[in-house]
Amino acid sequence: MQTHVAFCIDESGSVSRIVKPLIDAYNSNVIGIRDAVLDEGQEASMTALAFGDRVLKHRILYSGMQVQTVQPLKYGDLRPTGMTPLFDSVYRAVQKLSELDDGKPDTTFVVNVVTDGQENDSRDPGVPATLKLIKEKTHTDR
């Protein structure tokens, strides 16, 4: 069984006051997933995207890394600025995970969002397209 996990990590301006707890929460999740995967003898990869940067809006921190090789984020790895294109980030995460799809029925996908707030800047592809994609992927039971 193979699991592909994606993290969408908020680096919008509003997280500047809580960036350390946000990174701590992300790192705790990564360690928990790594431990669970290793305990169960499964395989898993991780992908992480940061969203909110005023210039880039979306940054791929890493993609398709085996869970054992993922390093914790450091406090300087996020650059809080800009708005919160949360749904656009989820869309991009699902796209990145789709690139890793081997088509096997026991391959699964998980998207995690680490944020302090709510959507306020998704335009490409936007909220409706992202909700449609989530619905399509959820119906696969993978």
Residue 97 lies in domain: 2-138
Single out the residue of 96, 98, 87 nearest to residue 128, CA to CA: 87
Domain count along the chain:
1
Residues counted in the chain: 142
Beta-bridge partners for 6: 47, 111
Give per-residue pLDDT as tens, 66-100.
999 999 999 999 999 999 999 999 999 999 999 99
Residue 64 and residue 45 in contact, taking contact as beta carbons nearer than 8 Å: yes
The DSSP line for the chain is -EEEEEEEEE-SGGGGGTHHHHHHHHHHHHHHHHHHHHHHT-EEEEEEEEE--TTTSEEEEEEEEEGGGPPPPPTTS----S---HHHHHHHHHHHHHHT----TT-EEEEEEE-SS------SS-HHHHHHHHHHHHTTT-
* Single pTM value for the model: 0.94
Pairwise pLDDT comparison (56 vs 59), residue with the higher score: 59
Q: What is the pLDDT of residue 105?
A: 93
Which pLDDT band holds residue 140 (cuts at 50, 70, 90)? Answer: very high
* Digit-coded pLDDT (tens) for 4-50: 999 999 999 999 999 999 999 999 999 999 999 889 989 999 999 99
Look up the CATH number of the domain holding residue 14: 3.40.50.410
Q: Say yes or no to pLDDT of 55 above 90.
A: no
Count other Cβ atoms within 10 Å, centred on residue 40.
Answer: 11
Q: What is the pLDDT of residue 62?
A: 96
11 with 94: CB under 8 angstroms? Answer: no
